[in-house]
Structure formats: C-alpha cells, structure tokens
Structure 1
Amino acid sequence: MLRKTIIFLAIASALSACGKHDKDPAKPDAANAQADAKQKDGKAVQLLVAPEDVLTVQSSALANGPVITGSVQPERKADLRAEVSAIVLQVLKENGDPVKKGDVLVKLDETSIRDSLMSAQEAQRAASQALDQSNRALERLKTLRASGMTSAQALDDAEVRRNSAQSELSAARARLVAAQQQVTRTVVRAPFDGIVSDRKVSPGDTAAIGKELLKVIDPTSMRFEGRVSADKIAAVKVGQPVFFRVNGYGEQKFTGIVKRIDPSANDITRQVEVLVGFSNEARPRVAGLYAEGRIDAELSDAITLPESAMVKAGDKTYAWKVKGGQLAKIDLTVGSRDPRTGNFEIKNGLASGDSVLRHPGSTLKDGQKVEMAAAARVASAAGTANSATNSAPQGK
C-alpha cells in the first residue's frame, strides 16, 4: 500500500511540472507578439530629428553676372629710382618695414655733386659782384652825361654791360638751384606713409640715373584689379557689387564695388580690366595675391540650398525631404552657385516652404519614419503626467 502511494505522488509531481513548463513559455511569446504589433502599427520611432536639423527651403535673390579674375594691388605705390649717378652709401629700410612720409630710405654719395654746388655758389657770387660794378659804372656815366662830360655811346655801352651782368647773375642762380637739387636727390625719402615692399640695392652698388632702388606701397589702398571676358563686359556697370575670394585667405569672402572699366581690351587676351574698390575695411595686406569672384550684374529670385543639405551620388544630386512624418528622397536639378552665400540654385525638385534635412547622413532610407524631438518630448511629458495622475490616491 505504501509503494502505491509513493508511485501516485511521483506521477502527480511529473504532471504538475509538465503543466508549468507548458504555461510559462507563453509569456515571452506574447511580449514578442505585442512588440511585433507595435512595429507593424508604426508606433516605434525609427528617426528622431531636432528642429535645428531641419531646413526650410526659401526663395531668395540669386546673383548672376560675369566672372572676374585678377590680383589685389595697391592703388598707391611708388618705384623709387636714382635721379643722380652715384654710389649707394646706406639703405636704411628693409622689406616689410613701415615708413612715414619724408623718412630717409637710401643715401647716395654726394661728394662730386657737392663740388658742383660749391662751384655754382662761387659763380653766383662773382656774377652778383659784376652786376654791382656795372650798376655803379652806369650811375657814374649818367651823372657825367648830364653835365656833358661823356658821350651818349659810352652811356649805351655801360647799359649793355649792366644788362649782360644781370643775365649772368640769373644764369648763375639757375645753376645754383640745379646743383642744390642734385644734392637733395642723393637722399631718397618716402613719398607717403606705407611699407617697403621690394629693396633693390645694397650699400656699395653703383646707382645710375633711372636705376630702381626700392618700392613703397600703401597697404590701406588695396584694390582688386580684375579682368572680365570681352563678351561679358556689356553687363558690367560702374557701381555694381562684386563678391570674391582671395588666394591665401581661405573661405573668407570680400566685397567690393566696380570703380572703373577700361575703355579698351587687352590685345592678347581680349579681356577688359575692371578696377574694384573694397567696400569695407576688411582687405588683404599683401599685394599681388590672386583673386576670383563674380560681379552682381543682375539679381533674380530662385530656390537655393546650401551644399551641406545636398547629397551627391555619381551624376545625381538629391535631398532628404521631411513630409508627413516620413523621409522622401528627392532628386534635384542644380544650377549655378551664388558667390555671396555659397548656396546653389535648385531648378527642380523642391518648392518654397519644403522641409529638408540640413545635414543628412548615409544610413537614411526612403520612407523612413521621422518624429520631431520637440513633439516626442511633449508626448513623453504628457504620458508622465497622466501616469502620475492615475497613480495618485483617490479621495473618498
């Protein structure tokens, strides 16, 4: 009897264990089914987007005009050359040194020129004494002629000598002034405030007349000396704005205004020179840098988009449009680039008011669900508030 009882309990335990085993696995299967249902219903958020990640497409003014290329050059520049033939004694400034108007830059040997100056001074002194003697002799002859003690011919001869002495004195003074100028030219001075851009001589060099000594430029007078193709010059007018970049200044943008258009084209390149003045204080301080830009000959309204919002795949360009909580891959027809803003003209694919991703990634998919981060935070806050309300104890 005891053995039968033990067998019965063992069978009951086995059946109970089988019942538990069949009942427990049903729990995870139900959870998985519920999760799958949520995925099918679209309740699970696949992409959360912040408002700053979305760009609203707008119509803006697009600048069109001819391309201008050239270099930045100073309007005030001086090539200082030797005006006398002499030996270079001193060069007081180096390349890049700032100078003030009147500063001594180069000194030339004035020994031989100083001798010429002294000779001219002596010649003037002698001519002045000769004129004094001629005047006194003429006055004496006038007195004698009044008393009848000399002839009219003698008086006329005295007047001729006096006039000749006057001429000699004038010539001597002119020679003295020329000699003084030659001495002055042995000291080369800065013609205006600026910097030394190119030193050409050193102490001991022989400076012949016309030899270049150094160059001085005014860095505050920089301008864009550009060239425009002759077939586009009809669209260029004085006063039009110009936007350009300068080599060596990265992506920094400079603005200017057309100041002058040359009346003739270059004989070789058939390009027309256009002078552009900077419209603000931001300007390069180095002359000779290459510059390239565009003249705003006309403005037109167009849909524009920054380059960061566009994705290029081979020959195609597209953007990711956000509409109805989904992403849509939109093919774009891209036009010219606005030199002022750097944005590209969108000829086809988008309209004003469309929303696109500002910086799209490489893992996006067409039709992917999108939820704005602000809306998600509001929904989460509302859910938290409702949960707190339901869990609060109800008063009787």
Structure 2
Amino acid sequence: MNTRQIKKVIIPITAIVILLAMVAWLAGSFNDKIAPILQANNHLKSSVPRAEQFIVSYSEQLSYEPVAAGIEAKQATIISSRLLARIEQIKVRAGDNVKQGDVLIELEKSDLTALVSQAQERINGISARYQEAEKSLARANKLYSDQLISAADLDSQKASFQSIEAELTAAKQARQQAQSTLAYATITAAIDGKVVNRFAEPGDTAQLGKKLLAIYNPLTLRVEANVREQLAITLQQGQTLQVQVPSINQTLSAKIEEIVPAANTGSRSFLIKASISYNQKLLPGMYARMLLPAKPQQVLQVPSNKIASMGQLNFVWIEENDELQRRFVRLGKKSSENMTIVVSGLNAGDSVINPPTTQD
C-alpha cells in the first residue's frame, strides 16, 4: 500500500474519531458526575399556627340553571284602522309617550261628516211627520170617544202613527251608526304607554286591519321563558326568581305570575311568565337569563384572601408534611363575598394558608 492510499484511509478515520470525541464532550463524558439528590426545603418549613389554617371541605352550594328568556310587555297593542280612508295626520312617532284617549291618527272624514248630516236631516223630516201624526192620533181618539168616527178610522190613524214612529227610530239608529263610523276616523290610544313603531305616514291609505302604530306599557314589562318540563314542574306561581339582563349588566328579582298549563310538544317545555319591577333601562325584546333553582351541588371553596395570582394563573399555598407547597387551582365563581369556589387543584382535607410574604 503506497502513501497515497494510506492517506485516503487515515483521513476519514481521523474525522470520525474527532466527531465522536466532540459528541462525548458535549454529553459531559469528561466531567465529574454528581448523583441527583433532593435539595433540602428548610426555607419553606411551615410555622403557621393551626388557627390561621383553613381546612378545605365539601359544602352544599345551591346551583342555578340559566334559561334563555326575553323581556316582553304584558300590555301591548297594535293600532289599526276600521275604515278604508286616507290618513290626514299622525300625531306621534316612535318613542313618544301617550295617555289613554290621546288622539293618535286623523283619517279623512269629509264623506263621513256628510253621512251624519244626511242622517240628521232625515230625522228632522220624519220628526215633523211624527208630530203631525201624533196630533192626528190624538184628534182621532177624541172623535172616537165622542162616537163621531168608527173604530176602523181610529185603527188607521194608529197604524199611520206607528209607521212614522218606526221610521223615526230607524233614522235615529242610522244617525248613530253614521256618528260611530265618523268616530272611527279619529284613532285614539287604548292604553297608557310608549309608541314602539310607526308603520304609516300621512297620505297613505289606511286599510282594514293594517297596523299603523305599535304601543306598549313600560310599567307592565315581564320576563318570559320556555322552561324544560323537568324544571318547570318544580316551579310555583308566586315564586321569586333571579333574572340576569346582560345588556344592562343587572340582576333583577322576578315573581312568577303565570305558568301556561300546557307544554310545547316540540320542545317539551312550558312557558313561564314572571313580573318585574319597572326599570327605565328595560325595553321589549331584550335578552335575559332566568336563573332557575336546580339540584344542590357539593363544592370546595376557600377564602378569597388566600388565593394568589401570577399572570393568568391562580394558586394557593397549602401545608403538607409540615412544608409549604404552592398548588395551582382553577377557580369558579364567588359563592359569597369572602369565599370562592375551587373547581380543581384542591382536595378535601387540604390545609390552605395565607400567601407567604416572601417566596424565595
């Protein structure tokens, strides 16, 4: 083997040896090894008096099931016309407050006024004939008593008088009907309330039954919810519930005033209606949550002042085997002003203490 061939063999072998040596050095093969041991935790030894420790235990917590609900008005009305007529004037707009009997809409009434006048003139004409017939009947009665006319003549006068009397009665009824129809041309508020919406403008033609205005009474707002039958059958009329209204960030008290005694066959739920006190921030159609009492739950809870935070993480300090340990926990909602529910991270019997002043 010549020198050139020897170099071809030695160079790769040397490179491999150097590479292996570098890997061994990076792995710490040439350093002194120290066996792993547990470091003493003497600086976290607990010296907290027993009286300052809180022993975690299960407690019964009332639970509530939120049910989607809505704010509705008990008193609400749709204003429409009983006539086919042109709208001359609408005196209110959405948001206006109205009183019962206030004039809301004026319809064209010239034709209707003419009908009332015609009915009155007809009454005037018939009244004149009625008075003449009444006098004729009185004379006929006197002549009959004096035996100057026959009974047939008297009966003829009576029939004539009764016919005119019937005509006068019919004319008065026709006038009353014309006056009632004329009254329909002036549309008034049926309730005290607030105008929700306006569906027409002056110049439009009001048609029979076509809605023109919507009004509701803000003093009669209530909460309505479809509640599944398992919960609905536990509720009673007059029972007080809590209602959350997220849009105004308020929780209101509501009293059940009606439980519709028939379930919706599709959703197997009952319609629950609960009255609430007047709140000027509430409007019909708002979303709400009705909190219904459900089965009590066993929960773990700790004093809120014993919970510490680090960023978005929450933890507590517990004492175990005479040593302090930091235990990360997942929190629920506050069960009271000073207590917070712990969803996970603690067990019954754990001893929770106040966070130490130093955590070195």
Work out whether the TM-score is over 0.5: yes
With over 3 angstroms needed to count, the CA separation of the structure-2 counterparts of 1:234 and 1:66, relative to structure 1, is: farther
Secondary structure class of the residue paired with 1:173: helix
Give the CA deviation at 1:255.
2.1
The alignment of Structure 1 onto Structure 2 pairs a total of residues equal to 308
Q: Which residue of 1 aligns with 2:274?
A: 276
The one-letter code matched in structure 1 to 2:274 is V
Matching residue within 291, 295, 301 for 1:294? 291
Q: Which residue of 2 aligns with 1:196?
A: 195
Give the CA deviation at 1:347.
9.3
With over 3 angstroms needed to count, the CA separation of the structure-2 counterparts of 1:267 and 1:157, relative to structure 1, is: farther
- The whole-number CA distance in structure 2 between the counterparts of 1:343 and 1:272 is 34
Give the CA deviation at 1:116.
1.1
- The whole-number CA distance in structure 1 between the counterparts of 2:75 and 2:174 is 34
Secondary structure class of the residue paired with 2:180: helix
Give the CA deviation at 1:304.
5.0
Q: Contact 2:307–2:314 (CA<8 Å) still a contact in 1?
A: yes
Give the CA deviation at 1:233.
2.2
Give the CA deviation at 1:158.
1.7
Q: Where do 1:98-247 residues align within 5 Å?
A: 98-247=97-246
The one-letter code matched in structure 2 to 1:165 is I
- The whole-number CA distance in structure 1 between the counterparts of 2:79 and 2:64 is 39
- The whole-number CA distance in structure 1 between the counterparts of 2:177 and 2:121 is 14
- The whole-number CA distance in structure 1 between the counterparts of 2:306 and 2:89 is 61
With over 3 angstroms needed to count, the CA separation of the structure-2 counterparts of 1:214 and 1:58, relative to structure 1, is: farther
Q: Contact 2:137–2:154 (CA<8 Å) still a contact in 1?
A: yes
Q: Contact 2:317–2:352 (CA<8 Å) still a contact in 1?
A: yes
Q: Which region of structure 1 is more displaced relative to structure 2, 229-238 or 73-82? A: 229-238
With over 3 angstroms needed to count, the CA separation of the structure-2 counterparts of 1:192 and 1:79, relative to structure 1, is: same
Q: Contact 1:244–1:293 (CA<8 Å) still a contact in 2?
A: yes
Matching residue within 326, 329, 338 for 2:327? 329
Q: Contact 2:301–2:339 (CA<8 Å) still a contact in 1?
A: no
With over 3 angstroms needed to count, the CA separation of the structure-2 counterparts of 1:40 and 1:105, relative to structure 1, is: same
With over 3 angstroms needed to count, the CA separation of the structure-2 counterparts of 1:321 and 1:117, relative to structure 1, is: farther
Q: What are the superposed Cα offsets for residues 226-271 of structure 1, whole Å, 9 maximum, x if unpaired?
A: 111234322222122222222422x322221211111112244332
Q: Which residue of 2 aligns with 1:370?
A: 356
Identity %: 21
Q: What are the superposed Cα offsets for residues 64-105 of structure 1, whole Å, 9 maximum, x if unpaired?
A: 455432210111111011011110011111111122222221
Q: Which residue of 1 aligns with 2:258?
A: 260
Give the CA deviation at 1:356.
6.8
- The whole-number CA distance in structure 2 between the counterparts of 1:338 and 1:206 is 60
Q: Which residue of 1 aligns with 2:21?
A: none
Secondary structure class of the residue paired with 2:247: coil
Secondary structure class of the residue paired with 1:370: coil
Give the CA deviation at 1:199.
0.3
Q: Which residue of 2 aligns with 1:285?
A: 282
Give the CA deviation at 1:354.
6.8
Q: What are the superposed Cα offsets for residues 304-328 of structure 1, whole Å, 9 maximum, x if unpaired?
A: 579999899xxxx985245589454
Structure 1 stretches of 5 or more lacking a match?
Answer: 1-38, 46-50, 358-368, 373-396
Secondary structure class of the residue paired with 1:264: coil
Q: Contact 1:236–1:297 (CA<8 Å) still a contact in 2?
A: no
Give the CA deviation at 1:337.
9.3
Secondary structure class of the residue paired with 2:252: strand
- The whole-number CA distance in structure 2 between the counterparts of 1:238 and 1:352 is 42
Give the CA deviation at 1:151.
1.0
Q: Contact 1:319–1:356 (CA<8 Å) still a contact in 2?
A: no
The one-letter code matched in structure 2 to 1:370 is P
With over 3 angstroms needed to count, the CA separation of the structure-2 counterparts of 1:244 and 1:321, relative to structure 1, is: farther
- The whole-number CA distance in structure 2 between the counterparts of 1:371 and 1:311 is 11
- The whole-number CA distance in structure 2 between the counterparts of 1:306 and 1:186 is 69
The one-letter code matched in structure 2 to 1:193 is D
- The whole-number CA distance in structure 2 between the counterparts of 1:120 and 1:179 is 7
Give the CA deviation at 1:370.
1.2
Q: What are the superposed Cα offsets for residues 268-326 of structure 1, whole Å, 9 maximum, x if unpaired?
A: 43321110111x444643111122232236767865579999899xxxx9852455894
Secondary structure class of the residue paired with 1:79: strand
The Cα RMSD (Å) is 4.2
With over 3 angstroms needed to count, the CA separation of the structure-2 counterparts of 1:281 and 1:328, relative to structure 1, is: farther
Q: What are the superposed Cα offsets for residues 201-250 of structure 1, whole Å, 9 maximum, x if unpaired?
A: 1011111121211011111211011111234322222122222222422x
- The whole-number CA distance in structure 2 between the counterparts of 1:352 and 1:153 is 116
Q: Which region of structure 1 is more displaced relative to structure 2, 284-293 or 219-228? A: 284-293
